[in-house]
Structure 1
Amino acid sequence: MPELRTTTLVDAPPRTVAAALLDAPLLTRAVRGLGVRLTSDGPVLHEGATLTAAAGPVTGVLRVTRADTTGLSAELVTGPLPRLALATDLRHTGGGTVVVDRVEWTSPGGQVGRFADVVVGRGLALKVLEARATAVSRRSRELLDARVVVAAAVVHDGRLLVQQRAYPADAAGRWELPGGRVEPGESDHDAVTRECAEELAVTVEPTTQVGPDVPLRADLVLRAYAARLLSGTPTPTDHQATRWITAADLATLDWLPADRALLPALHPLLPRVVPPGRASRTFRSRESYVQDP
């Protein structure tokens, strides 16, 4: 099974490099100059996202199987090769983050297989890896100075607090974690506490970061923190609804793209089974809530 790899040292922490890896437009631009047409099903790569590639004899659809602080992986689900796997692993060192890019594949037999090994292996695949590594390194350095939007992964009684957007039109009805922008001179933890108080009238205590940084714009990233509910009942103000959900609910909601990238990191925060008698509630106004069916 042929395999190629490249190694790059990036002067940025893993969470920042992970954000660059999740930037789907960055990936498509990086390979465009090589004649590779690559499209994604959204602006942020996440577990389960798909990439459609067209490059001469190699055309197919890849599905992302890993997208977290350890790196990113994708595998071919439809295409001319029996197997094609891409992987990027992040390793923290005192001098920065080591980025190891790998591609491996299984070619069909006969003359077609030998041709694929030459075209994909020695030519195009290596160029794609090198172009992507250069783009990720450059984007990581840009993201070091990016402004931060914080999100709160508030877990209480085995459930996660989420809220449903009311606006703008393209986001209305979709779900996200509570949070907002970090103000100048404010720490991430202070921003989490303030935003939860302003948006939901609750007091929370933020702790550790959850998942990677997620790119929102060229100069803006989303950063999530686990948090404990200290007091108050969630009361939506600018949102349609606020809801406590279980681990089983995570895959059923229509998430905003950036928040969807955090789902693998949210699962470990929630128990598989919630104690009986703690029904899920959806709060739809400041004074009332309705019981979920």
Structure 2
Amino acid sequence: MPELRASALVDAPVSVVAGALLDTSLITGFGVRVPGPLLCVGDELAGPFGVRLAVTRADLSGVSAAGDFLELHTDLVVTGAGTMVVDRVGWTSVRGVVGRFADMTVGRGTALRVLEKRSALLARRCSELRSARVVVGAAIVRGGRLLAQQRSFPESHAGQWELPGGRVEPGEKPVDALVRECVEELGVPVVVGDQVGPDVPLKRDLVLRIFSAELAGGEPEALEHNAVRWVTAGELPGLPWLPADRVLVPALQRLLN
């Protein structure tokens, strides 16, 4: 399988770059049809000429998608000067002289132009996300289970599940905001740990940032939601999550395992 590689250094933390890669606006301009605004593992992408790909990876390490004769991989490497973005495109060749000619001209030339344009879009999106407002969420773990809460409003999201949290107020630190939100929504104090997964784009200037957390006392109650429940790693994919939380399911499963 012929393969084309390209790399670029982005002046942004890996959590920001990984989040920007989830934004499907970076690929829809190339004629790719997507199921929603964010890339999730398991999503099917439809490209020109009947090309179909399934997303197999979307996390802090990068993004991958594979089909019958095409594979796309973007790997992220943390450096002292930023995040190195390494793109790899592989495709199955047609046999014979015509196939080899296509590999050297149409295939490689088109792929290189697409990667160069996507690289510029990625750098611009990362710049936007670095200064974006933040919504924080808590991945509260107890006994190998994750706490989730069911939305009661708005009507479009009623019945769906999300992690506890809310917006960071002006002048407020994300960790302080998360502690406050857990008291308001669940009635319990928490101890906040490390970030889990990438910054997930919600709007052009708004991201969701999840932190691991542990209960510091009390029992969570659904003070502002329909219900709360403890979920195992195996149950996570089947829960009807809000779109932004669904993106983080692989990272949450790793947290539990």
Relative to the length of structure 2, the TM-score reads: 0.95
SS at match of 1:40: coil
Aligned to 1:60: 51
Mapped to 1, the partners of 2:111 and 2:201 lie a distance apart of: 26
Equivalences, count:
257
- CA deviation vs aligned residue, 1:135-170 (integer Å, no higher than 9, x gap): 001100111100110010000122110011112222
**Which whole-Å CA distance do the structure 1 matches of 2:7 and 2:46 have between them?**
25
Q: Is the 8 A contact 1:5 1:101 kept in 2?
A: yes
Q: Deviations over 1:226-282 (max 9, x none)?
A: 0001112221122111111111111110111111111111112224xxxxxxxxxxx
Tell me which of 224, 235, 243 is aligned to 2:229.
Answer: 243
Alignment of structure 1 residues 242-281 onto 2, 5 Å? 242-271=228-257
How far apart are the structure 1 equivalents of 2:98 and 2:137?
50
Q: Which moved more, 1:116-125 or 1:226-235?
A: 116-125
* SS of match in other structure, 1:251: helix
Deviating more after overlay: 119-128 vs 96-105: 119-128
Which residue identity lines up with residue 167 of structure 1 in the other structure?
F
* 1:11 Cα deviation from its structure 2 partner: 0.8
Q: Which SS does the other structure have where 1:260 is aligned? A: helix
In the alignment, structure 1 residue 187 sits paired with structure 2 residue 173: yes
Counterpart CA distance in 1 for 2:142 and 2:2 is: 48
Distance 1:251 1:12 in 2: 30
Among 185, 208, 219, which residue is 2:194 paired with? 208
Question: SS at 1:196's partner residue?
Answer: helix
| Range that drifts further, 116-125 or 84-93 | 116-125
Question: In the alignment, is the contact (CA less than 8 A) between 1:149 and 1:180 conserved in 2?
Answer: yes
Please say which structure displays the higher CA radius of gyration.
Answer: 1
Whether the 8 Å CA contact 1:19–1:212 is kept in 2: the answer is: yes
Aligned position for 1:34 = none
Range that drifts further, 103-112 or 199-208: 103-112
Report the alpha carbon displacement of residue 69 of structure 1 after superposing the two structures with TM.
0.7
**Closer, same or farther in 2 for the Cα pair 1:249/1:120, shift >3 Å?**
farther
Aligned to 1:287: none
Change over 3 Å in CA distance of 1:112–1:177 after alignment to 2: farther
Structural mapping, 1:29-48, within 5 Å: 29=29, 31=30, 37-48=31-42
**Contact 1:73/1:87, CA 8 A, preserved across alignment:** yes
User: What's 2:23 paired with?
Assistant: 23
Task: Supply the distance in 2 between the matched residues of 1:180 and 1:116 (Cα, whole angstroms).
Answer: 51
1:47-86 equivalences in 2 (<5 Å): 47-54=41-48, 58-76=49-67, 82-86=68-72
Matches within 5 A, 1:71-150: 71-76=62-67, 82-110=68-96, 113-114=99-100, 116-118=102-104, 120-150=106-136
**TM-score, normalised to structure 1's length?**
0.84
> How far off its partner does 1:25 sit?
1.8
Contact preservation (8 Å) 1:164, 1:242: yes
Shift of 1:123: 2.5
Secondary structure of the corresponding residue to residue 216 of structure 2: strand
Structure 2's unaligned 5+ residue stretches are none
Task: Provide the alpha-carbon RMSD of the alignment.
Answer: 1.5
Q: Could you tell me how far apart the structure 1 residues matched to 2:220 and 2:234 are? A: 21
Q: Percent identity?
A: 57
**In 1: Cα distance, 2:13 partner to 2:79 partner:** 9
Give the C-alpha shift of residue 59 in structure 1: 2.3
Secondary structure, counterpart of 2:113 in structure 1: helix
The secondary structure found in structure 2 opposite 1:231 is: coil
In structure 2, C-alpha distance between the alignment counterparts of 1:167 and 1:92, rounded to whole Å: 39
Name the residue aligned to 2:6. Answer: 6
Are 2:158 and 1:172 equivalent residues in the alignment? yes
Letter in 2 for 1:126: L
